[in-house]
Amino acid sequence: MPRPENPQLIDTFGRVATDLRVSLTDRCNLRCTYCMPAEGLDWMPGEQVLSDDELVRLMRIAVEQLGVTDIRLTGGEPLLRPGLEDIVARVTALSPRPRLSMTTNGIGLAKRAAGLAAAGLNRINVSLDTVDPETFLKITRRDRLSHVVAGLAAARDAGMTPVKVNAVLIRGLNETEAVPLLKFCLAEGYHLRFIEQMPLDAQHGWNRGEMITAAGILEMLEAEFTLTPFPAARGGAPAERWLVDGGPGDVGVIASVTRPFCAACERTRLTADGAVRSCLFSNDETDLRSLARAGARDEEIADAWRATMWGKLAGHEINDAGFAQPIRPMSAIGG
Ligand code: SAM
Ligand code: SF4
């Protein structure tokens, strides 16, 4: 099908990508068992990683030419990127100004939240899978729960609200944490989102039979709370939401595996080494870094980005017999 003249990131299924996920680094200071092995990974060599100028240029092209309205910084661990505050300030100075958010493990956030907010960061999602220190150590292989809890409070105090908490439940590790996590988030005013575990770990250890499904999570929560479906429309947002005990607190579940939301997907992705991807699960990437370093004009880069998104597949196919896990792990794509 020929691509119609349209400046936006349209695909053959009529979707328009307006939400850009940018990975700032593939490095991390935690070792979540469902994400990477204890020894870490072979990190990208420095010369392969986009410089600040290259990164900001690609985000500028996305905003100015491709209709991107929302940008989320992620990784790896985005707080490990040198000069993060400066990148935030440069991106929020773009016109039209994108809404800017970040997904982080929260280590070091306590000291930096106020500065990030002052630089223009609008919102933060902090990943936290347990409120029990021993379980935290087992999951992340680091004894840092108190740092994350302090980081969350600092994000709230800096006004980057609503502060969201992302949690992944793993059988045999933290499956009993659903209720304590929700109690903690309700008490602190954070919005909790459970994410179904996906086949994106570097070790390829994901097992469908072992994963805790959205239905299983809801069953655990309903034993303790009354959940009523959230009145607002879901739109392109991946989380299905429920009011807890009549509100105002709520809880969400992102059922990427058992209730895929690909038909409403509004995302495009940029890796730390400058590859554009139309989906977390695609193996098709376009190397914008080489184009940029070879002297391509903004319009040429924008066209390459549009062509990648035009080829976006209908869905991730995790539930199909022939599904193959993508070559890059989550930490090197940007979760
Ligand atoms: N390091 C940051 C963090 O943990 O928030 C940002 C990157 S991390 C890859 C982004 C999100 O992906 C986290 O909430 C993490 O829990 C989630 N994640 C990592 N591996 C996953 C997997 N296999 N399935 C589902 N979610 C996963
Ligand atoms: Fe690091 Fe985030 Fe992966 Fe945990 S989920 S190892 S914090 S990148």
In this structure, the residue with its CA closest to atom 14 of ligand 1 is 127
Choose which residue among 30, 129, 141 to substitute to test ligand 2 binding: the one with the highest number of ligand atoms within 8 A of its C-beta.
Answer: 30
Identify whether 3 is part of a domain: no
- Residue 260 in any domain: the answer is yes
3-47, pLDDT tens digit by residue? 999 999 999 999 999 999 999 999 999 999 999 999 999 999 999
How many A from CA of 13 to the centre of ligand 2?
A: 32
Confidence of residue 325 (pLDDT cuts 50, 70, 90): confident
CB-ligand 1 contact for 192 (6 Å cutoff): no
Separation of CA 32 and ligand 2 centre (Å)? 5
Indicate the average pLDDT of the chain: 94
Answer positive or negative: Cα dihedral of 82, 85, 88, 94. negative
Closest CA to 160 of 121, 119, 110: 121
Residue 1 is assigned to a structural domain of this protein: no
Q: Is residue 148 part of a domain?
A: yes
78 lines ligand 2 (CB under 6 A): no
pLDDT digits (tens, 9 = 90+) for 138-195: 999 999 999 999 999 999 999 999 999 999 999 999 999 999 999 999 999 999 999 9
Protein residue whose Cα sits closest to atom 9 of ligand 1? 335
Could you tell me the two tokens for 201?
Answer: 């770990």
pLDDT at 293 over 80: yes
Separation of first and last alpha carbons in the chain: 31
Domain carrying residue 200: 9-333
Q: Which has more confidence, 1 or 62?
A: 62
CA-nearest of 254, 123, 245 to 183 is: 245
Ligand 2 near 178 CB (within 6 A)? no
The domain tally of the chain equals 1
Q: Does 272 contact ligand 2 (Cβ within 6 A)?
A: no
Cα–Cα dist 81/156, whole Å? 22
pTM across the whole model:
0.96
Residue type, 111: K
- The span from the CA of 285 to the CA of 291, in Å, is 13
Ligand 2 pocket: which of 24, 26, 27, 28 to mutate (most atoms within 8 A of CB): 28
Phi-psi region of 237 (alpha: psi -120 to 50; beta: other; left: phi over 0): beta
Confirm whether 4 is domain-assigned.
no
Looking at residue 234, its pLDDT comes to: 61
**Biggest CA-to-CA distance, the chain:** 59
Q: What one-character-per-residue DSSP string does 32-69 give?
A: -TTTS-TT---PPPGGGSPPHHHHHHHHHHHHHHS---
The CATH number linked to 251 is: 3.20.20.70
pLDDT in tens, 218-264: 999 999 999 999 876 666 677 899 999 999 999 999 998 898 888 99
| Average pLDDT of the residues in 284-313 | 97
2 is a domain residue? no
